[in-house]
């Protein structure tokens, strides 16, 4: 029998506890990234906007005036990158919160059953998140 075909039996109660732990982990990370997003948004509001007016606006020649172009307002690239990272992480953790919440409800409703888990299943329920990364 190949190891990728191995199945190990676990009590549903044990798997339900694991989903509770995973759910709590992703809820905590979601909260952290939500707070980080608010900090980045405050920084953008405070001093993250850049206004670029065309240099030709300074000349008096009607031909050189570019009134239609006007000014361009942009968010500083570093802050936009930070905001994008926050939004990406919020989406990531939201998906896991939904997933583990659904599994938790199902498993808690069937505490006396036993379920066979393969390696992939075990990693989903019991595996640890990568350390050293801003998960």
Coil, helix or strand at residue 115: strand
Residue 119 falls inside a structural domain: yes
**What was the pLDDT predicted at 28?**
96
Residue 69 falls inside a structural domain: no
**What was the pLDDT predicted at 45?**
87
Which residue range is the domain that position 107 belongs to?
3-38+76-126
Residue 66 falls inside a structural domain: no
Question: Which residues 6+ apart lie within 8 Å of 34 measured at CB?
Answer: 86, 90
**What was the pLDDT predicted at 100?**
96
**What was the pLDDT predicted at 69?**
59
Q: What string of pLDDT tens digits covers the 135 residues of the chain?
A: 688 789 999 999 999 999 999 999 999 999 999 999 999 999 988 887 777 766 555 555 555 555 555 677 787 889 999 999 999 999 999 999 999 999 999 999 888 899 999 999 999 999 987 665 567
What does the alpha-carbon distance between residue 106 and residue 16 come to, in Å, rounded to a whole number? Answer: 8
**What was the pLDDT predicted at 4?**
79
What does the alpha-carbon distance between residue 134 and residue 95 come to, in Å, rounded to a whole number? Answer: 17
**What was the pLDDT predicted at 110?**
85
Residue 87 falls inside a structural domain: yes
Q: How many structural domains are present in the chain?
A: 1
Residue 95 falls inside a structural domain: yes
CA distances from 26 to 44, 71, 75, 93, 98 (A): 26, 42, 29, 5, 10
CA distances from 24 to 21, 38, 125 (A): 5, 21, 13
Residue 44 falls inside a structural domain: no
**What was the pLDDT predicted at 62?**
56
The pLDDT tens digits for 75-91 are 788 999 999 999 999 99
pTM, full prediction:
0.78
Residue 32 falls inside a structural domain: yes
């Amino acid at each position: 029998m190949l190891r990728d075909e191995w199945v190990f039996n676990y009590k549903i109660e044990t798997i339900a506890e694991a989903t509770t732990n995973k759910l709590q982990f992703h809820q905590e990370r979601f909260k952290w990234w939500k707070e980080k997003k608010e900090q980045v948004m405050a920084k953008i509001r405070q001093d993250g906007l850049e206004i670029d007016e065309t240099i030709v606006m300074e000349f008096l020649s009607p031909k050189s005036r570019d009134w239609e172009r006007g000014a361009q307002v942009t968010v500083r690239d570093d802050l936009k990158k930070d905001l994008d990272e926050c939004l990406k992480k919020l989406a990531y953790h939201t998906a896991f919160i939904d997933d583990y919440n659904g599994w938790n409800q199902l498993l808690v409703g069937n505490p006396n059953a036993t379920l066979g888990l393969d390696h992939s299943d075990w990693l989903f329920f019991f595996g640890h998140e990568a350390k050293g990364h801003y998960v």
